[in-house]
Structure 1
Amino acid sequence: MVRRRWSVRKFLKMPLAEAGDQYSIWVGLIYIFNLIVGTGALTLPAAFARAGWGLSTISLVFLAFMSFMNATYVIETMACANAVFKWKRLQFIKRSSVQDEEHSEEDQASVHEELEDPLVCGDSIPSRYYSLDKRIELGEMANLFLSKSGRTMFYCTLCVYLYGDLSIYSAAVAKSLMDVVCSTIPSNMTNTTDWDAMPCFNVTSSEAGVYTRLDCYRVALLTFFAAMGPFVFFNVQKTKYLQLFTSGMRWLAFAIMITMAIHLLIKHGPQGRPPAFDFTGMPTLFGACVYSFMCHHSLPGLISPIRGKGYLGLHLALDYLLISIFYLLLAFTGAFAFAQLSDLYTLNFVPTDNENVFLEIVEYFLALFPVFTLSTSFPIIAITLRNNLQSMFLDTSRLETYNFVLRKMLFPVVAVVPPLLLTYFLEDISVLIKFTGSYAGTGIQYLIPTFLVLSARRHCTNLLGLGVVNKYKSPFSNVAWAVFVLLWSFVCIILVSVNMLERNPRH
């Protein structure tokens, strides 16, 4: 009986969220901004120029709206999951208090103080069951609300996407560092074999101790994992100062590109003449910007530590608005400032006058842009993958009962080692990029949030009743919006498939 009383009291006082390492809403928005704005933004100017500035503007704003809608679905589902856990907690205490008369009044009074609204309340009274205090990853939400087949599809899609993202990020950072360290590739060296065997520095192959570009790539890759890998063993809050530092570097890089493009426009006038509408460029435009707003897989881990979530939806909308304006400014200035645009926008800023020290510094700084952007996203995505792997194989409601190695060591290693091995032995991951960023990305951004929120609403209505109001309910709660998202998902898959066929025509 003593042990029973101890377990009830421990369960009652168990915090729903980690008390320490919280941050303000503005820091949380910086985290989300860093996660969304990556190297994908560098492909937007060329895509704008091909599809036309009018069509591109409409498409980007529409995709931002679709991404925001599904982000609100993730937030609503997370609040529903918190409500389910609180309801189960109350039921556990009620059952236990029957066998523990001595502590029943104290326990139940404490619970009802936390959840003082009844199970059925007026429409104007928000329920305290619904909150965002406890971090509940997408995997836990899938375990709560989806069927067995739905959970299987969810974990397959999530793991493919997150493992693919980590591989893409690590390879991009390593290649960027290699390009900065090594000498420029001669124009006649284009195939993969030549790239692997080329010396990193301008020395003859007969000299002793020659390092190839592949050697430099692998050293840079191992250095990157050694620097970023340890963050995976902690929570996302531990990356706060890394986020703030690289966010400053990211803003500086974008500001340099926008400022230089505006300077060229003022000095030489518009060199680019993009049309207003060119629907033949639509598949390319779609492939460039549909996933420029991807953040849904990591939202739970970024939102739960925020202090003061009362106006979270409004702040998130402002974040999306800022990112959209940022994208449009970058794309418009680039599309009109340059007659010819490289697929990777930073390549348009390679200086022609090597005696100009300032331009030389700019060249190296922009060449390191992927390092600044992806180094902040890598720990967040790896931590998200680690947490969801735990949800797949462990009971997260009693996570502390597992041994230390299983709980703290195994899953971080499982999250980072496969991408390391893949990118170490296979530096060309273009096929992985296409599959990960298209089909799996469509599932993560559109399909999974929609199915989760529909199931969560039905589950919470059956559990708590119609009168319990979710104050974090999406403003797009009408079922017609969900149907629209599902239809749009199929359009996405068609457009992505067309884009891939255009880039890989049959010979």
Structure 2
Amino acid sequence: MAGEITETGELYSSYVGLVYMFNLIVGTGALTMPKAFATAGWLVSLVLLVFLGFMSFVTTTFVIEAMAAANAQLRWKRMENLKEEEDDDSSTASDSDVLIRDNYERAEKRPILSVLGVNLFYFCIIVYLYGDLAIYAAAVPFSLMQVTCSATGNDSCGVEADTKYNDTDRCWGPLRRVDAYRIYLAIFTLLLGPFTFFDVQKTKYLQILTSLMRWIAFAVMIVLALVRIGHGQGEGHPPLADFSGVRNLFGVCVYSFMCQHSLPSLITPVSSKRHLTRLVFLDYVLILAFYGLLSFTAIFCFRGDSLMDMYTLNFARCDVVGLAAVRFFLGLFPVFTISTNFPIIAVTLRNNWKTLFHREGGTYPWVVDRVVFPTITLVPPVLVAFCTHDLESLVGITGAYAGTGIQYVIPAFLVYHCRRDTQLAFGCGVSNKHRSPFRHTFWVGFVLLWAFSCFIFVTANIVLSETKL
């Protein structure tokens, strides 16, 4: 019985679930990965990418195991309720049934995670979502600025071969590039910010369109880079290793493998979960191959100092893409895709704030519910985007801190306490059908030790960088 994952809502096949997980993981982080690869060196980047992909797979199996155990307890509770309705005479129950029921009732009174653990989860997810919104709020105006602004003497083709401009360079007439960026940020906030105050629903077809655009853009970039390299026009000569770039690379890679927070809604509707772990492993192999292909074609196609924070902007150049429609499609690609995701992420963050402070049976005043929570959701990421558009650093910091908590710390604690809770409820003889292949307690300790090491490493790296400045 233990280890069954409930099946609710509209079901889909395991292979459809595989595609959904692929789309969930491969997102904005992939666009910042090429520059991080070029900065850290191709060998260091490859090793770290494979290792972090493996660690993400480990904690994904932890979450799946915890989901299965929790759903098994819910199913047992429903069965017990049915038994009580059919026969109120408890004397007819066998001794083993009574023992399991007593154990279950004791386990039911104890939460899998303590109040501290629950608050830690909400803290991590809120910080992560704030980072997401800040990245999105910066990426759209930055892309618009890069595509529409022209340096002195530049033609109408967009970004020149030398893409390193200063924010104080002229954009249109007396307006500087930074002024154009902030104008676009203000327009972005005015257009999409109000959605934070309402509920966003029925986005299925919008998400399908966004996914289609994303895969067309990725495919076009990879093909264009391969063609340039094949024609001997590749400009990239990436170093073997440069440890000064590892901090940002680490954060970008963690951010790019993030999926643990969305696994319950993704895994539950899968109709057949018999080979779920194998399919998840296959997904990670495909994602690793895709990240490697995208990043390696990028770092050998473009010089490391010319790679943009948002990789799509490298293709908004006349010398790279001759067809204007393709240049504008790739240059403005983040604008369309990120704009559709921003309201959804904002509403999710707002609801997490509301849940964190919710008291049983209590309701919020209208002003708090409709004004305060949306405001504290929207204002901080917009302020961060106003102060900086360094997307690589934003992604790196979000992944290194909030990402470490969500991807490593929470799953490790969750699976550890879930195993203890399952033994208390059902005894040692019941096995979880979806138990993680990494079932030894060593793996839980290893994940936590790795998370702690990453936190110390990234913090020390930031402090040293600031000291040098």
TM-score > 0.5, shorter chain as reference = yes
Tell me how far apart the structure 2 counterparts of residues 174 and 327 of structure 1 sit (CA, whole Å): 25
The partner residue of 1:104 within 86, 105, 108 is 86
Tell me how far apart the structure 1 counterparts of residues 343 and 23 of structure 2 sit (CA, whole Å): 12
1:178-233: CA deviation from partner (whole Å, max 9, x where unpaired): 555x5436699845xx69xx88xx4678xxxxx96534322223323457986x54
Deviation (angstroms), 1:432: 6.6
- Which residue does the alignment assign to 1:478? 440
1:144-191: CA deviation from partner (whole Å, max 9, x where unpaired): 3112222232222222222332333234234434555x5436699845
SS at match of 2:255: coil
1:434-457: CA deviation from partner (whole Å, max 9, x where unpaired): 643322221111011000110011
1:466-487: CA deviation from partner (whole Å, max 9, x where unpaired): 2222112111111111111111
Q: TM-score, normalised by structure 2?
A: 0.78
* 1:61 partner amino acid: V
Q: Say if 1:470 and 1:410 are closer, same or farther in 2 by CA, change over 3 A.
A: farther
* 2:379 partner amino acid: L
The partner residue of 2:118 within 123, 144, 151 is 151
The partner residue of 2:238 within 274, 283, 290 is 274
The partner residue of 1:420 within 364, 378, 396 is 378
Matches within 5 A, 1:45-444: 45-93=34-82, 97=84, 103-105=85-87, 144-177=111-144, 179-180=146-147, 182-184=148-150, 190-191=166-167, 202=172, 214-225=182-193, 232-234=199-201, 238-268=202-232, 270-340=234-304, 341-344=306-309, 345-352=311-318, 358=323, 360-375=324-339, 377-378=341-342, 381-382=345-346, 385=349, 388-389=352-353, 392=356, 417-426=375-384, 427-428=386-387, 435-444=397-406
- Which residue does the alignment assign to 1:35? 24
* 2:272 partner amino acid: G
- The number of residues matched between the two structures is 434
Q: Say if 1:457 and 1:317 are closer, same or farther in 2 by CA, change over 3 A.
A: same
Conservation of the 8 A alpha-carbon contact between 2:133 and 2:381? no
Conservation of the 8 A alpha-carbon contact between 2:143 and 2:313? no
Which residues of structure 1 form unaligned runs of 5+? 1-15, 98-102, 122-128, 130-140, 206-210
Which residues of structure 2 form unaligned runs of 5+? 1-5, 153-162
Tell me how far apart the structure 2 counterparts of residues 329 and 188 of structure 1 sit (CA, whole Å): 25
Q: Say if 1:415 and 1:72 are closer, same or farther in 2 by CA, change over 3 A.
A: farther
Tell me how far apart the structure 1 counterparts of residues 173 and 239 of structure 2 sit (CA, whole Å): 47
Stretch moving more, 466-475 or 298-307: 298-307
Tell me how far apart the structure 1 counterparts of residues 371 and 429 of structure 2 sit (CA, whole Å): 45
1:43-82: CA deviation from partner (whole Å, max 9, x where unpaired): 3223333433222222111111101111111111112221
Q: Say if 1:29 and 1:222 are closer, same or farther in 2 by CA, change over 3 A.
A: farther
What is the identity percentage for the equivalent residue pairs of Structure 1 and Structure 2? Answer: 44
SS at match of 2:256: coil
1:398-457: CA deviation from partner (whole Å, max 9, x where unpaired): xxx998x999x9879877543422344552256876643322221111011000110011
1:238-267: CA deviation from partner (whole Å, max 9, x where unpaired): 443233221221111111211111111111
* 2:192 partner amino acid: F
Deviation (angstroms), 1:284: 3.9
Tell me how far apart the structure 2 counterparts of residues 41 and 264 of structure 1 sit (CA, whole Å): 21
Q: Say if 1:475 and 1:502 are closer, same or farther in 2 by CA, change over 3 A.
A: same
SS at match of 1:504: helix
Conservation of the 8 A alpha-carbon contact between 2:38 and 2:238? yes
RMSD between superposed Cα atoms in Å:
4.0
Tell me how far apart the structure 2 counterparts of residues 383 and 18 of structure 1 sit (CA, whole Å): 23
